[in-house]
Amino acid sequence: MTAQLPLSLRWPRRQRFEHFHAGTNAAVVAALGTLAMQPGAPWLYVSGISGSGKSHLLMAACQAASEAGRAVQYLPLKTVRDHAAAIRGVAGSEFLALDDLDAMAGERDAEHALFDLYNRARAEGTALLFAAESVPAQLPLTLPDLRSRLGACTQFALKPLDDAERREVLKNQAKLRGIELDDTVLDWLFARYARDIGALLDLLDRLDQASLAAQRRITVPFLRAFLREAS
């Protein structure tokens, strides 16, 4: 496997539907579950700001499709160098999720490759799932026909979680790791750290490892010292 080829991977344990706090995004989660489980379901295009959970949902859909016995591929375009080659390298899947379309927008060769893939998938009955920060109408595409194809998908815009929902997600994820986060720690963290849920969950992973290594609970002094050393 090279960096230019679509990734075939064992889906991360926590990147599943049951670990996604849907909140006001319940309709998106339901539509993704239908696409993953039911051949012939409408293709989907999910948009949302960085940290809104797009990649989590795409991998969760891939996991569900894989468990349903479908051949699955996930292509995170932000992580590959040659977007056109990566897109052309996709083959043999029944369910294909393409993440970070923003990364290839404006590259004519990559856009033509995606246009061809779209048409091939339609002819072969492959389910397609797309994600980007921008909706199709706002992507800086050079190929109008590709914009039209993407715009024909059923579109969902992920709504960011509010602070109460972010706190609930952190508490639940901490509980899964056997960590207790009290309100004092969360108050301090939310006042001084990025509120992007992806960044917060990454921080929780690192705190989990650090607290285990130090054999200490996660308190405000521990958190303060950890962030000071990490900066």
Q: Do both 139 and 203 map to the same domain?
A: no
Q: In whole angstroms, what is the distance from residue 48 CA to residue 87 CA?
A: 22
Residue 45 φ then ψ, to 5°: -130, 115
What is the extent of the structural domain holding 134? 17-157
| Confidence at residue 2, expressed as pLDDT on a 0 to 100 scale | 34
**Under a CB-based contact definition with an 8 Å cutoff, are residues 75 and 97 in contact?**
yes
Q: Do both 37 and 60 map to the same domain?
A: yes
Q: Do both 127 and 63 map to the same domain?
A: yes
Tell me if 82 is assigned to some domain.
yes
Q: Which of 157, 187, 214 is the last residue of a domain?
A: 157
Q: Do both 61 and 100 map to the same domain?
A: yes
Domain CATH code at residue 21 = 3.40.50.300
Q: Which of 224, 229, 170 is nearest to 195 (CA)?
A: 170
Write the pLDDT tens digit of every residue in 73-84. Answer: 999 999 999 999
Q: For the chain, how many structural domains are there in total?
A: 2
Q: Do both 64 and 119 map to the same domain?
A: yes
Torsion of CA 13, 154, 94, 108, to 10 degrees: -100
Burial 53-76 (b: 16+ CB within 10 A, else e): bbbbbbbbbbbbbbeeebebbbbb
Write the pLDDT tens digit of every residue in 99-146. Answer: 999 999 999 999 999 999 999 999 999 999 999 999 999 999 999 999
pLDDT higher at 58 or 91: 58
Q: Do both 128 and 215 map to the same domain?
A: no
Q: Do both 39 and 109 map to the same domain?
A: yes
pLDDT for 199 beyond 60: yes
Tell me if 101 is assigned to some domain.
yes
pTM over cut 0.85: no
Tell me if 7 is assigned to some domain.
no
pLDDT for 200 beyond 90: no
Tell me if 131 is assigned to some domain.
yes
Q: In whole angstroms, what is the distance from residue 146 CA to residue 229 CA?
A: 47
Q: Do both 117 and 76 map to the same domain?
A: yes
Q: Which of 131, 157, 183 is the last residue of a domain?
A: 157
> 29-38, 97-106, 140-149, 190-199: which range is least confident on average?
190-199
What's the gap between Cα 208 and its chain centre?
Answer: 22
Tell me if 174 is assigned to some domain.
yes
Q: Do both 74 and 176 map to the same domain?
A: no
pLDDT grade, residue 10 (50/70/90)? low
